[in-house]
Amino acid sequence: MLKMTHLSKAYRTEVVETYALRDFSILVKEGEFVAVTGPSGSGKTTFLTIAGLLEEFTGGEYQLDGANVRGLNDNQRSRLRNEKIGFIFQAFNLIADLNVQDNIDVPLRYRGFNGAERRRRIQDALSRVGLSARARHYPAELSGGQQQRVAIARALAGSPRLLLADEPTGNLDTQMARGVLDLLEELHRDGATIVMVTHDPELALRAQREVHIVDGQVVDLAAQPRMVAAAHAGA
Amino acid sequence: MFSYYVNLALRSLRRNVVLTALMIAAIGVGIGASMTTLTVFRAMSGDPIPQKSHQLFAVQIGNWDPQNRRDYGREPDGLQPQLTYMDSMALMKSHAAARQTAMYVGGFALTPSNPELRPFQIQSRAAYTDFFPMFQVPFRYGAPWAAADDENHADVVVLSAELNDKVFGGANSVGKTLNLDGHDYRVVGVMEHWSPTPKFYDLNNNQFGKAEELYLPFTRAIDAQMPSWGNYNCSGDIGEPGWEGRLRSECVWFQYWAELPSAESAARYRSFLMNYASDLQRAGRFRWLPRTSLRDVREWMDYQQVVTNSARILVLVSFSFLFVCLLNAMGLMLAKIMGRAADIGVRRALGANRYAIFSQCLIEAGVIGLAGGLLGLVLTALGLWGLRVLLSEEVGRLTHMSVTDISIAVALSLTAALLAGLYPTWRAGQVQPAWQLKAQ
């Protein structure tokens, strides 16, 4: 599903060149739930933005769902992002002007679905996250947990091949975080491929597999897959 | 997606009402100021008879000594814009054009048959019957007098719609009589409302004034010694006293127009005029080289400086003001759009390409432009109303907005807003979603 090989990302100024990712390789198979961990500044978010086609990389190769993304133009990247990737952000990133259903409608509009199809997908997604009754509420009227579930519904509505989550519980209290994680696990059980960036080791234990990044490089690629049950037992 | 973007634009405008109001006000004030001056300018400079303006020619003959410069007014070539009676009659008798008319503006005391109405003075135009078809005068009742009426010095008149309303209550007055200076005239026609702006056929006399209210055969007006109410200019010798002396003098007070449908006929008429002036030189009336001129309507308006340089500068200044307003609107739009950089980043992350963001923001700019245009129209109407109240009736006639003026205002506003929105919109398209999301 997601394959990066010897990928690098450098930020250049006139005097200095800084590598956020260096010789970075990762393989995420279809249906996997992978946690990407690492200290602040290790390159986790850079990995996520490159994986999400929000940023270009400097060197190496990146294949998303079998397609090589190097050299794609803005239109092609946007279409690929819209069709194959669902984003879940730490800060939810709902659009304040739009109510819940209109927020979920955003990626569907860019996809070009007709009105009936969009309505069906919005209802399905809301029902999946248990917020059907909140369709006409605005983000400011919802709790943090509810907002994150709306963001998940928005990510799911387009039936993406890959869910990218950036610290999805970082802005939530423990109880709400648990609810969101339960939802992610449920999605995974239903077959979704999830890559979750987190700096929280306990959260990482809920994933099938953990990839640890330090200074822009994967340092624990050989980590053993862990069962969710084990994670629960550890917690 | 268009309706979706319009919907988003309206939501966005409602989000920050003050900023939205400032942007609309900046564009509206600029449009109002520029359209007020442009409306007046267009009325001054517009083609008053577009279908025929290149077929109608004003005639000039240099009957004054070109060395005697003190006699000349604003005309740069020293030719007078009007003709003498002698020249007017000679040209009329030649029938060298398809249609032609000599004419002048004068007036009578009109005594209505209705005893409830008091006598009043009425501005009148003496002309030949060709005047009406030449200048495409529309008729409500009746028709122009016949060519025979010109030859027979007939006591006939054509009334303006306004005069017919005033004297005959708007009824069909054809066949009725009208008493002018104690003499009865038969009404043969009533015009529809007709008042070209500027009054191109007589720019020398109240060029933005109303058309005359009464028309009568030139020959009859001369017989009746209808006094001239227009410019009457003489060079040194004012001729013998009395009406006949005026008619034989070198004083100029008649306008002369010829209709020449083709370039060939215009060229032939030019030759005819030069030959006429040469004959007069040979006969000893002119002691200088023959000089004549033939100008079509647009050339005539330029020559008579209908649009002054100060009017052109005023338009330039008002459009400079619009430009400053646009810069302000651009700054406000930039602030508004970049304030939404986070939302734009999210949209990009969710699949919007640069074109989609560009379209969304540009449509928002267009909505602002439309609102600014509507405000601009209201302000233009207010500005024109102010001009009507503060300035003369003559200027007031230039202050009416046509459908074209309204269309120009809306188009100008939309264009202005889109231009002002181009840079902010381009900046929005450049938003890097990764940076926006990382910043959070």
- Considering the domain architecture, whether residues B357 and B405 belong to the same structural domain is answered as yes
Dist. CA B269–CA B230, nearest whole Å: 27
Express each pLDDT in B397-416 by its tens digit.
667 777 887 888 788 878 87
- The verdict on residue B276 lying in a domain is no
Dist. CA A60–CA A69, nearest whole Å: 11
- The verdict on residue B279 lying in a domain is no
Residue A13 near residue A59, CB atoms below 8 Å:
no
- Considering the domain architecture, whether residues B36 and B100 belong to the same structural domain is answered as no
Express each pLDDT in A53-62 by its tens digit.
888 888 899 9
User: How confident is the model at residue B435, as a pLDDT?
Assistant: 66
- The verdict on residue B54 lying in a domain is no
Nearest to B80 by CA among B254, B306, B277: B254
User: How confident is the model at residue B439, as a pLDDT?
Assistant: 58
Of the three residues B259, B276, B294, the one that is the final residue of a domain is B259
Express each pLDDT in A9-68 by its tens digit.
888 887 888 888 888 888 899 889 999 988 888 888 889 889 988 888 888 999 988 889
- For residue A29 the two structure tokens come to 């198979």
Range of the domain at B133: 63-259
- Residues from chain A contacting residue B434 (CB–CB below 8 Å): 49, 54-55
- The verdict on residue B25 lying in a domain is yes
- Considering the domain architecture, whether residues B124 and B247 belong to the same structural domain is answered as yes
Which of A144-158, B135-149, B286-300, B378-392 has the highest average model confidence (pLDDT)? B135-149
- The verdict on residue B328 lying in a domain is yes
Chain A CA closest to residue B344: A95
Express each pLDDT in B293-307 by its tens digit.
999 999 998 888 887
- Considering the domain architecture, whether residues B41 and B68 belong to the same structural domain is answered as no
- The verdict on residue B351 lying in a domain is yes
Q: Which residues pair with A3 in a beta bridge?
A: A27, A63
- The verdict on residue B10 lying in a domain is yes
Dist. CA B382–CA A200, nearest whole Å: 66
Residue B213 banded pLDDT, cuts 50, 70, 90: very high
Q: What are the distances in angstroms from CA A21 to CA A59, A87, B390?
A: 10, 21, 73
Average pLDDT of chain A to the nearest whole number: 85
Nearest to B189 by CA among B159, B151, B148, B166: B159
Cβ separation of B353 and A74 shorter than 8 Å? yes
Cβ separation of A55 and B432 shorter than 8 Å? yes
- Considering the domain architecture, whether residues B401 and B433 belong to the same structural domain is answered as yes
Residue of higher predicted confidence among A128 and B52: B52
- Considering the domain architecture, whether residues B68 and B40 belong to the same structural domain is answered as no
DSSP codes of every residue in B180-240: ETTEEEEEEEEEPS---SS-GGGTTS-TTSPPPSEEEEHHHHHHTTPPB-S--B--S---S
User: How confident is the model at residue A202, as a pLDDT?
Assistant: 80
- Considering the domain architecture, whether residues B39 and B79 belong to the same structural domain is answered as no
- Please give the tally of structural domains in chain B: 2
Which of A74, A75, A106 is the closest to B350 by Cβ? A106
Cβ separation of B434 and A55 shorter than 8 Å? yes
- The verdict on residue B193 lying in a domain is yes
- Residues from chain A contacting residue B345 (CB–CB below 8 Å): 93
- Considering the domain architecture, whether residues B318 and B345 belong to the same structural domain is answered as yes
Residue A34 near residue A196, CB atoms below 8 Å:
yes
Q: What percent of chain A has pLDDT over 70?
A: 93
- Considering the domain architecture, whether residues B340 and B423 belong to the same structural domain is answered as yes
Express each pLDDT in A113-142 by its tens digit.
999 999 999 998 898 888 888 999 999 999
Q: What percent of chain A has pLDDT over 90?
A: 22
- Considering the domain architecture, whether residues B68 and B34 belong to the same structural domain is answered as no
pTM of the full predicted structure? 0.66
As a whole number, mean pLDDT of residues A68-90 equals 88
- For residue A76 the two structure tokens come to 């092609």
User: How confident is the model at residue B395, as a pLDDT?
Assistant: 65
- Considering the domain architecture, whether residues B393 and B324 belong to the same structural domain is answered as yes
Q: Is the confidence metric ipTM above 0.95 for this complex? A: no
pLDDT value at B26 more than 60:
yes
Cβ separation of B352 and A45 shorter than 8 Å? no
- Residues from chain A contacting residue B344 (CB–CB below 8 Å): none
Of the three residues B223, B242, B259, the one that is the final residue of a domain is B259
Residues of B with CB under 8 A from a CB of A: 1, 4, 8, 11-12, 15, 342-343, 345-356, 432-434, 437-438, 440
- Considering the domain architecture, whether residues B382 and B422 belong to the same structural domain is answered as yes
Chain B CA closest to residue A49: B434
pLDDT value at A225 more than 70:
no
Cβ separation of B351 and A79 shorter than 8 Å? yes
Residue of higher predicted confidence among B128 and B240: B128
> What DSSP state is assigned to residue B119?
P
Express each pLDDT in B330-352 by its tens digit.
888 888 888 888 888 889 889 88
Q: What share of chain B is helix, strand, coil (3-state, %, to 5)?
A: 50, 15, 30
Q: How many CB atoms lie within 10 A of CB B345?
A: 25
Nearest to A3 by CA among A22, A29, A21: A29
User: How confident is the model at residue B75, as a pLDDT?
Assistant: 63
Express each pLDDT in B152-165 by its tens digit.
999 999 999 999 99
Cβ separation of B437 and A49 shorter than 8 Å? yes
